[in-house]
Amino acid sequence: MEKKKILISGNEAIAEGALQAGCTFYAGYPITPQNELIAYMAKHMPKKGVFIQAESEPAAINMVYGAAAAGARSMTSSSSPGISLMQEGISYIAGSRLPAVIVNIMRGGPGLGNIAPAQSDYFQATRGGGHGDYHLIVLAPGSVQEAYDLTQTSFDLADKYRVPVMILGDGILGQMMEPVRLSAKKIKANTFKGWALTGCQGRKPNIVKSFFLREGALEEFNLKLQKNYELIRKKEERYEGLFLSDAKVILVAYGTMARIAKSVISQLRSAGKKVGLIRPISLWPFPQEPFNLKNKKIKYLVVEMSYGQMLEDVKLAVCGRQRIEFLGRSGGGVPSQEEMINKIKKIL
Amino acid sequence: MAKIVINQQRCKGCFLCVNFCPKGLIKKSRKLNKRGLNFAEFDPSGGCIGCAMCAVICPDCCIEVYK
Amino acid sequence: MEKIFFRAESLYDVSTHYCPGCGHGIAHRLVAEVIDELGVREKTIGIAPVGCAVVAYDYWNFDCSEAAHGRALAVATAIKRVHPQNVVFTYQGDGDLAAIGTNETIHAANRGENLTVVFINNAVYGMTGGQMAPTTLLGQKTSTSIEGRQKEKHGYPLKISEMLALLPGVTYVERVSLQSPQEVLKAKRAIKQAFENQINNLGFSLVEVLSPCPTYWGQSPKEALDWIRDVMQKEFPLGRIK
């Protein structure tokens, strides 16, 4: 069968990817710059699925909690201030071992900030964000096609590990239109979930909860979570590497920043400069493998639309073996090709 | 002819049943249960009518009623 | 002799963590009895709140979910929409339903979600040690209204049931009390009605239960029941509101 190609925005691609993955429950609250996503879900959610415009972000995330507990593939989307409001619910989802997909199309902060693209929720996304010892799997698409593909992956990972998965993009990715090749295969509907709430006919009652009062019970549970996270760290690192075999300067950037970095690299490469790229696709777990380079003369340049958030993970991955430089802007500023090239020329 | 059976180990000694027995057949025990509490005790000789008021008000579902 | 009063199948044969004379034990039992009588135990999904009844699922013998403080009706909305054939209810205290969760409560009601709500009003925060609740009476002393609740400082007892009754999405609202065996039996009838409404797809039904908290009212269990009758009911009159 010929795969269909359509021109859509990143926000719409995420929504279409979710529907393709068998998402049958969406709840969200309007916020810029992700409004095309909620509108797409409202328009295209199939009849037997559920779309709810919630009264708030806390309500939206707790609806997702309920739908996930009921066994549905469920999703919400928002942008930075709204995601902050959802943190309690995300912590409960992690603590109750529920699979769910949460989309954050980031905007400038702190506070109400602005609606310009930003990457300044990196810490919040990769460190858990709410209370307690937990993680989300965090995936950062770099193109509209990848936004579509990774959304489908997100639902599979959420179900496989029973964890919340976050898709972290920025306003540019959300708004940008690109051709997307749609998947031909129809994803199978919700797989059977033995723990889900369906009524206890023919079995003992199921309970979905994150409360462990008995002495030692919470620690026991948290160790189980940590074991799961360890497995995810081992199996689910994702990244793209460019020219890593000969690069003297390696740019490290994700999402929209990586697209700008790629243009810089092709310019500099055609001028004979040995520049490469590591583009983390999974921000948690943060890819360790590509940073395992022996040559001590390599230099890294971390570029972000934030002030040194991913930089910390790069430092941990590089572990002092090589020099790390940083270029970042935030609050509406996007590091330009020129700024990157100037910085690289200084380092080289 | 009716009677009630009180789960004395589960009784928390709120004695709401004592207050609502129309025949005054339930009393506070002198003994303690394993919680260390006085519990509700039924006097089977007094003509229980099986109205179940005691069971209806019991917050701990300690009372079974037979008729 | 035949056993005429026994434990419902929907209620586990275990001791609860509630204080002596606490109304939660009675309300749990009523919910369990109603579910048994309607024959829907295997279809029921309960949502436990945050508050004293946080581990209600340890006492109920059917599927249950936890919900974050105040979010029970958001969770219930989603579960019912995903499984419309199941019977879904929330069991929430006054702090949960009428303070932190007011937004979720009003909007679930306004959407006319086909749900049953058992709302326990004991005019105080029990779990956290007896602080002022939205439903605390004027003059009632709590650990955060030491001189008694004053309208100038703390506002008035919130009559959320009357507020909800104004919404067109709401089908049934009734206020009942656990002050005596007679009132307990009436409370059970109201709870049964609220579940029947859901089974008959009639929409949002809520039963407010005036429930004793002897510990944080500083009263004996019997005094607490009398206080409901003599004081609390004056502010929160019993009967069908809608």
pLDDT at C216: 97
pLDDT at A145: 98
At A10, list the tokens. Answer: 């990143």
Quick check: do C and B touch, 3+ CB pairs under 8 A? yes
Chain B touched by C180 (CB under 8 Å): yes
Q: What is the pTM of this model?
A: 0.97
Chain B touched by C141 (CB under 8 Å): no
Q: Which residues of chain A have pLDDT under 50?
A: none
Chain C residue with Cα closest to B54: C181
pLDDT at A2: 59
Residue C176 has pLDDT above 70, yes or no: yes
User: Which of A316, A333, A334 lies closest to A324 in space, CA to CA?
Assistant: A316
Selecting from A66, A198, A201 the residue whose C-beta is nearest the C-beta of C76 gives A66
Cβ distance of B61 and C25 shorter than 8 Å: yes
Q: What is the CATH number of domain B3-66?
A: 3.30.70.20
Under the banding of pLDDT at 50, 70 and 90, the label for residue B1 is: confident
What does pLDDT average to over chain C?
A: 98
Q: Which residues of C touch A89 (CB under 8 A)?
A: 68, 71
Domain range summary for chain C, segments of one domain joined by +? 23-240
Tell me which of A198, A201, A203, A221 to substitute to probe the interface with C (most C C-beta atoms closer than 10 Å): A198
At A254, list the tokens. Answer: 């994700």
Distance from CA of C182 to the nearest CA of A (A): 32
Distance from CA of A127 to the nearest CA of C (A): 21
Cβ distance of B52 and C25 shorter than 8 Å: no
Q: Which amino acid is at C89?
A: F
Domain range summary for chain A, segments of one domain joined by +? 5-235, 242-347
Chains A & C: contacts with CB separation below 8 Å: 130
Selecting from C1, C15, C222 the residue whose C-beta is nearest the C-beta of B66 gives C1
pLDDT at A305: 97
Distance from CA of C82 to the nearest CA of A (A): 6
Measured between alpha carbons, how far is C242 from C222 in angstroms, rounded to an integer?
A: 30
Tell me which of C1, C2, C3, C5 to substitute to probe the interface with B (most B C-beta atoms closer than 10 Å): C5
Domain A5-235 shares a fold with domain A242-347: yes
Distance from CA of C233 to the nearest CA of B (A): 18
pLDDT at A53: 98
Chain C residue with Cα closest to A87: C68
Q: Which residues of C touch B56 (CB under 8 A)?
A: 5, 181, 184-185
Selecting from A66, A207, A211 the residue whose C-beta is nearest the C-beta of C75 gives A66
pLDDT at A184: 73
Distance from CA of A134 to the nearest CA of C (A): 17
Cβ distance of C65 and A66 shorter than 8 Å: yes
Measured between alpha carbons, how far is A102 from A37 in angstroms, rounded to an integer?
A: 12
pLDDT tens digits, C6-50:
999 999 999 999 999 999 999 999 999 999 999 999 999 999 999
Distance from CA of B6 to the nearest CA of C (A): 11
Residue B64 has pLDDT above 90, yes or no: yes
Fold category of C23-240 in CATH:
Rossmann fold (3.40.50)
Cβ distance of C78 and A52 shorter than 8 Å: yes
Fold category of A5-235 in CATH:
Rossmann fold (3.40.50)
Residue C74 has pLDDT above 90, yes or no: yes
pLDDT at A188: 62
Fold category of A242-347 in CATH:
Rossmann fold (3.40.50)
Distance from CA of A90 to the nearest CA of C (A): 11
Residue C58 has pLDDT above 90, yes or no: yes
Q: Which of residues 198-237 of C touch B (CB under 8 A)?
A: 214, 221-222, 225
**CA distance readout (Å), C148 to A287, A315, C122, C235:** 59, 57, 16, 15
| Sheet with C3-5, side-by-side order of all strands | B3-6, B63-66, C3-5
Distance from CA of A170 to the nearest CA of C (A): 28
Cβ distance of B12 and C19 shorter than 8 Å: yes
Chain A residue with Cα closest to C44: A199
pLDDT tens digits, A261-282:
999 999 999 999 999 999 999 9
* DSSP string for residues in chain C: --EEE---TTB-SS--SPPTT-HHHHHHHHHHHHHHHHT-GGGEEEEE-SSTTTTGGGTBSSEEEE--TT-HHHHHHHHHHH-TTSEEEEEEEHHIIIIITHHHHHHHHHTT-S-EEEEEE-SEETTTTSEE-TTPPBT--BTTBTT-B-HHHH-PPP-HHHHHHTSTTEEEEEEEE-SSHHHHHHHHHHHHHHHHHHHTT--EEEEEEE---HHHHTS-HHHHHHHIIIIIHHHS--EE--
Selecting from C5, C21, C184 the residue whose C-beta is nearest the C-beta of B65 gives C5
* C116-121 vs C204-210, strand pairing mode: parallel
Peptide bond into A110 cis (omega under 30): yes
Find chains touching chain A: ≥3 CB pairs under 8 Å: C
* ipTM score: 0.97
pLDDT tens digits, C104-155:
999 999 999 999 999 999 999 999 999 999 999 999 999 999 999 999 999 9
Chains B & C: contacts with CB separation below 8 Å: 71
Domain range summary for chain B, segments of one domain joined by +? 3-66
Place of tokens 């309208």: C151
User: Which of B37, A203, B29 lies closest to C15 in space, CA to CA?
Assistant: B37
pLDDT at B46: 85
Residue C190 has pLDDT above 60, yes or no: yes
Cβ distance of C57 and A213 shorter than 8 Å: no
